[in-house]
Each structure stands twice: as structure tokens, then as C-alpha cells.
Amino acid sequence: MAAREHKAFPIVVRDLEVLDAFDVTPRTRRVVLTGAQLGAFENGGHRIAPFRTENADDHVKLIVPGAGVVPPVQEDGHLDWPPGTIERARDYTPRRYDPDARRLELDFVRHAGGPAAEWAGRARPGDRVLVAGPRGTTVLPAGIDWYFLAGDETALPAIARRIEELPAGTPVTAVVSVASAGEEQTFDHRADLDLTWVHRDTAGPGALMDAVRAAPWRTGQVYAWAAGEAGMLRPIRRWLEQDRRVPAGRTDIAGYWRAGRAQHETSQEMDRLRHAASLAVPYAIRAAVTLDLAEHVTDGRTTVPDLAAAAGARPRGIRKILAVLAHQGYFTLGADDVVALTPAGTFLLEEQVHGRLDHRNGYARLDDSWPGLLHAARTGESGFEHAAGHSFWAELAGDERLGRTFDGDLARWSGTWSPDLVKALALTGEHLVDVGGGTGTFLAHVLAEAPGVRATLVELPTTAERARAHLAERGLADRVAIAAQSFFEELPAGRDLYLLAQVLHDWPDEEAVAILTRVAEAARGRRVVVLERVATPADEAGTAAFDLQMYTVFGSGERDRDEFAALGERAGLRLESATRIHANLHAIEFRTA
């Protein structure tokens, strides 16, 4: 089934005159426009073709007159909109166009705060207004046997025009929602029309969909068209797709407006959404950081070819990255390919930025999980594994720099909270087991502050070796045993305290329970302390984003207190207390149940 086809017209602006303005219904005002510029004319040296509108739902942009509105400049086939003018433009369907009489009719629905409708309410014969477009038209699919039309007052010009322009006897089912019975209109048509009006002032909330479902569904190939308030259209779209199984190429559904929002607010919101969803900037920043572009500029390479050579990359690629980052204010990029770093761009030189965003570093690889978010959300499995084909830990183990830099980041972070944890645990002469202890930063703190304490560090072999070296460097080798093993295996038993610092949030529930079960078996009634962020519904944006990232990387994410209690219960551990240690890191203490 072919999709709908769109035919583009050169975009032009015409200066027109109000011929007449009158109320069609209490809420709908018709403005009739005329003028020589509905025919062919010249503007700024460009030949402008006569006005044409070929399909019932074409639209023009009416530029609402007002103080300080600067007309768009006619270019060859397009318009150059001065700042602020496009915000004054509103879309209207030509209700009727008579090329011989040069009469263009537009219908305006009155609504509070609508500048175009207010203008239409005041419009008098002789007033002038600029009208741009139509910028194109939809070509209907071939082989339409009948039409299904639905909408509200804003869709009525297109619905009315379609009904009036169809050949005699064409089957049409139409359902139109209007404010009240007084808003009904009559059409001059020859179609085989079944029309239902829904009056919102007396009908219940589901009345429009009831009417849509009850309206006759004709036989043969349908063309289904609906327009109006966006929220109102959603159930119609679902009904057409799922209940009536109308193929996409046979439907055209357009949200003309959104309840509670002016048109320019809607376009601002849409822009905001497009901006928020664009991956270009985050990826361009990461590429620039990974290619050391800021460093190369600082080193005196100030043209695109020089930068590309220094970065071992292609000049075209570098230019395009820099073009995006110049719009973000990190670089300047001249027409002569000269590049400079802005004050904001100097932050790209920071070590911390490289730690987070440089793809050569372990922490930055967490971001490779994002393409797997959908998979993680659907299955609860690791999005990282889905995207990369192996686990995050396997990724780190495969490259010395990745592992080293990741460990370094963790060590810096654990350096900020480990003194608080040492205090909270009130250790004196115990033997503690640090399960998944990383490179031993935390242990080094504990052992330094509590001279009577001894420890066992459980880690995967590669990290365990780094931990061994790290602890030896600090003269602590004789107080720590290294168990180079997985925490899914049997753990050293009968020690005084088992600590799992930021381990469980790397694992989905099944694995987390398996780890805790190993811990419970080894602890045999001794203390078990889990150090984790405890999620709350009030988590701020950054925490929520990190939580989502952990969920995507590992299929786990942060847990709330009840979820920790439930994990513990499955492993034979009872949650005793959760004490805040640092920011929202908590020491969660369990006992064998």
C-alpha cells in the first residue's frame, strides 16, 4: 500500500484585502479575501504563480497584522522570515477558493486569546493581510471508494470543503464535534453523506467516540481523515488502526491545536522536545573529547585540516562536529576553517570531563548502554549486553586502560564516603570481608583508621591484582587477604562483617539474590552491610538519570528500602536498619533471618 504523497509548491506571500467578514455561526467567522496578488505577479524580482489549492485540507499561513510585524521577504521559492514574524502566523484551511472571482474564504473559530480569531472578529472590508502558502498539498491515494471524516470546528472547513467538492453520490461518513447545536453548518453538496453532529455542551465525555463507532462504516476502500484538538484525535487514531485496521497510507490524522496551548506555544514545546531528543550534541561532545579537539586547539592547531591530522580523523567529520559544537558555544568555526576554543569550551580540557565522556575511559563506556534501554525496559535484561554483545565487566576486562580508569573513578568516589562509613561501622578489631571491593580504596581507609582490623577482599582476578598492588603500596599487604574469585562462588566464611559496597545495583534481582545468598551462607549470623543509594520517589533529576543508566547498563538500577528488604528476605537475611552515610548513600544492615 503506497503511503500518502505530498506535492510541494514554491512558498510565496501575498498581500490581500478583506472583501467581507461575517459570522457563519455564533463561534465561526468567515473572512473573504481578494486581491490582484491571488493571480500571477512579481515580488522582489521573482515571478509568483497564481494562488492554487488542490486538496480540501491544504492550509495557508495568515500573518496576523499588528504593530511591529515585519513581512517575510520573498526569495526564490521560499520566504525569509524576520525574527518574530513566524510567531504571528496561524494556519487556516481555504474553505473555498474561486479563482475567477479571486475570492478566498477562511473560517476562524472564536476562542479566548487567539490573535488570528480576534483579528477576524475586527476585520472590515478594505483591511489588508498577508497570506503565505499553501506550501504544498496532499495527493490522495488511488482507489478510494468512500470517505470517513471526523473532527471539531477547526477541521470543519476541510470537512465541508471535501464534502462539497466530491463527485455526486460519493459515500461519505462524517462525525463532527461542535460546541453546541448552534454551531452546525449546512453544506452545498451532492455526496451520499451520513453526517453526525456531536454537541459538546450536552453530550457526555465519551460521546464523540460513541458517535464515531456508531456511524456507518461503508464498504470498499476507505480514506479516513480526522483533524482537530490533538487529545481528541488519539482514540480515533487507535480505533482506525486497531479496530478498523485501516492501513497507514489510507489515514490522515492531524492535530490542529492542543487544549490549553496557543499555537506558538505548541511549536515551542515541539522544538523543546526535538531539542531534548536530539543525540547530535551529546555524541558530538563525546567525539570532540575523545579526539582531544580542545587540547589540539590549545596546542596551536587552529584549522580544521590541522586538527583532523592531529586527531587522526577526517577533516569533513571534524568540521561537522565543530559546526554542531560552535552552535553550542564550545568552539568558534570561521568560514576560513579557523577554529578557536570559547571560554565554555575550555571545560572540555578538564580531567573530570575526560573521565566521564572520553570513550577511551571506562566510565564513559557506561553510555554505550543507552541504545539498549528499550531492550532493558522490555525484558529487565542488561541493555549494555544487548547493545555490546558482552557484559560491562567483560568490556572493562578487555582493555587495560578501561579497567584502570574505571577503578580510578570508583576509587576517587569511594574516597569521599569511606571515612563516613568507617565511622558508622564503629570497627575495632574485627575481620571484615569486602565483597566486590574494587581496588581496595575503601579497605585502605578502614585499615588506616582502625589498626586492629583485618580484612579479606573478594574481587575478579584482574581487579584483585590491582587491589593487591594498591594495598601493598600502602604497606597493608599483611593485613589483607585477597580472594581472587567471583562473588557467585562460595565466600570466605565465619568472618565478623560482610560488606557489599555499590555491588547490588550492578545486578538484576535474581543475581543480587544469588550474591546475597552466598553472603548469608558465609556470614552465618554475623553482620552484613550493604552500601547503596536508596531510591526515593523524590530523587532529583541527576539521581533519576543515574538510576536509569544503572538500570540500562545492568538491568538493575537503584532500589528503595522495601526492595532491599525483599532481596534480603529471599536470601535469608532480615533488613535491620538503613542509615544515611553520605548524600543519599545508605548503610543497610542485615542479619541472618
Q: Which is nearer to ligand SAM, 175 or 482 (CB)?
A: 482
Contact between 135 and 9 (Cβ < 8 Å): yes
What is the smallest separation between the CB atom of 93 and ligand SAM, expressed in angstroms?
Answer: 59
Match 553482620 to its residue by C-alpha cell.
Answer: 527
CA distances from 148 to 220, 227, 387 (A): 12, 12, 43
**Residues in CB range of 221: below 8 A, 6 or more apart:** 143, 144, 145, 146, 250
Query: What is the distance between the alpha carbons of residues 288 and 305, in angstroms, rounded to a whole number?
Result: 15
DSSP 501-560: ES-GGGS-HHHHHHHHHHHHHHHTTSEEEEEEEB--TT--HHHHHHHHHHHHHHS---B-
What is the smallest separation between the CB atom of 279 and ligand SAM, expressed in angstroms?
Answer: 26
What is the smallest separation between the CB atom of 411 and ligand SAM, expressed in angstroms?
Answer: 7
Copy the grid coordinates of residue 296: 589540539
Q: Which is nearer to ligand SAM, 330 or 442 (CB)?
A: 442
What is the smallest separation between the CB atom of 351 and ligand SAM, expressed in angstroms?
Answer: 19
Give bridge partners of residue 131 from the DSSP assignment.
14, 62
**Residues in CB range of 379: below 8 A, 6 or more apart:** 555
**Could you say which of 189, 354, 505, 586 is catalytic?**
505
Q: Which is nearer to ligand SAM, 341 or 453 (CB)?
A: 453
Active site residue 6: no
Q: Which is nearer to ligand SAM, 153 or 430 (CB)?
A: 430
Q: Which is nearer to ligand SAM, 107 or 506 (CB)?
A: 506
Q: Which is nearer to ligand SAM, 318 or 443 (CB)?
A: 443
What is the smallest separation between the CB atom of 367 and ligand SAM, expressed in angstroms?
Answer: 16
Q: Which is nearer to ligand SAM, 20 or 465 (CB)?
A: 465
What is the smallest separation between the CB atom of 536 and ligand SAM, expressed in angstroms?
Answer: 21
What is the smallest separation between the CB atom of 139 and ligand SAM, expressed in angstroms?
Answer: 57
DSSP 323-358: HHHHHTTSEEE-TT-BEEE-TGGGGGG-HHHHHHH-
Residues found in the chain: 593
Where are any strands of DSSP class E within 12-123?
A: 13-23, 28-34, 41-43, 46-48, 60-63, 73-74, 79-80, 89-92, 94-98, 103-109
CA distances from 408 to 144, 351, 362, 393, 544 (A): 66, 12, 9, 15, 24
* Secondary structure element (H or E) that encloses residue 252, with its range: strand 251-257
What is the smallest separation between the CB atom of 435 and ligand SAM, expressed in angstroms?
Answer: 7
Copy the grid coordinates of residue 164: 462539497
Q: 3-state SS of the chain: helix, strand, coil percent to 5?
A: 40, 25, 35
Contact between 467 and 447 (Cβ < 8 Å): no
Q: Which is nearer to ligand SAM, 410 or 450 (CB)?
A: 410
Q: Which residues bind ligand SAM (CB under 6 A)?
A: 393, 410, 414, 436-438, 442, 458-460, 463, 486-488, 501-503, 506
Q: What is the 3-state secondary structure (H, E, C) of 480-516?
A: EEEEECCCCCCCCCCCCEEEEECCHHHCCHHHHHHHH
Match 483591511 to its residue by C-alpha cell.
Answer: 127
What residues are labeled active site? Answer: 505
